[in-house]
Amino acid sequence: MNLKRYITIYAALWKNSVAREMSFKGNFLLWIVVELLWFGLQLSFVSVVYSQASTVGTWTEWQMVLLVGASNFIQQVYQAFFLVNCTNLSELVRTGKMDFLLLLPINTRFIVSLRQVDLGAFVNALFAVAVMLYAAGKLHLHPTFAQLAGFSALCVVGILIHYSLMFMLAAISFWTVRAQGIVYGYYNLFNIARMPDEAFKGAFKAVFTFALPVLLVSNVPVRVLADKVISLEGLLVLLVLGVVWSLISEWFWQVSVRRYTSASS
């Protein structure tokens, strides 16, 4: 892969995304407001929970605010880069536009995954960072460089897991034509990530820790940042699942593309 060539192509995709967003400024600003209102409701939910209890497991109120902020940050960064592209995959298949992408002299998964950028999500990610900083101040946290680097790396792993799973679900459209419902169904599971892992037990916790690791994606990074006890098992599971789901997603993508016969066939 020619790295410089792909960077140039991605820069062009960014330029097109900026032009598209600026053509509909009202829509751009409206979605920022909508996402901020939803984020505010999530934070309000924390105050409701802690009006009835002093802790959830070992999580204090401001630790949970930090968790909600981190969860929203991961979600918004994922949304900025991948969400629109994953949801649009079924339309590419249904309309036959996938034909043109397959003919381009470039890795097809690259162009399908990154052709559009949601710029508004970056703005909302900054608000999530502001909430995290405020919560960290309330907790009197002074994270070291190693903690910040570990948190950032684990967030990247979490985003990679979300992308791998959702892209694989989107690729089901090669069989069903439309798969937006499945994709958005998984996206709605992101809301589980804002809850402390200690709030769940039994089969539910096992499923959303190992099969669909939604709980790990935000809980593990925040434990690193908040000086909470983190098990080596949880850390290893998150890293291993990042690799495993990436490989499975790529395998499923290759199988799916071979099934494609274009809309005109």
Over residues 23-48, mean pLDDT: 85
CB atoms within 10 A of CB 206: 11
Over residues 220-246, mean pLDDT: 83
pLDDT at 214: 84
pLDDT band per the 50, 70, 90 thresholds, residue 229: low
What is the Cα–Cα distance from 100 to 104, expressed in whole angstroms?
Answer: 7
Residues in Cβ contact with 74 at an 8 Å cutoff, skipping those fewer than 6 apart:
155, 158, 159, 162, 193, 217, 218, 221
pLDDT at 67: 93
What one-character-per-residue DSSP string does 98-122 give? HHHHHHSSS-HHHHHHHS---HHHH
Over residues 112-117, mean pLDDT: 92
Residue 142, phi then psi, degrees to nearest 5? -135, 75
Q: Is 109 exposed, middle or buried (0-12, 13-18, 19+ CB in 10 A)?
A: middle
Going from N- to C-terminal start, the domains of the chain cover 3-259
pLDDT band per the 50, 70, 90 thresholds, residue 28: confident
pLDDT at 90: 87
**Mind listing the pLDDT tens digit for each residue in 140-180?**
998 889 889 989 999 999 999 999 999 998 998 888 867 67
pLDDT at 159: 93
Any idea which of 3-12, 46-55, 80-89 has the lowest mean pLDDT?
46-55
- Chain mean pLDDT for the chain: 87
pLDDT at 236: 85
Beta pairing partners, 56: 59
pLDDT band per the 50, 70, 90 thresholds, residue 79: very high
pLDDT band per the 50, 70, 90 thresholds, residue 217: confident
pLDDT band per the 50, 70, 90 thresholds, residue 34: confident
Nearest to 175 by CA among 264, 84, 93: 93
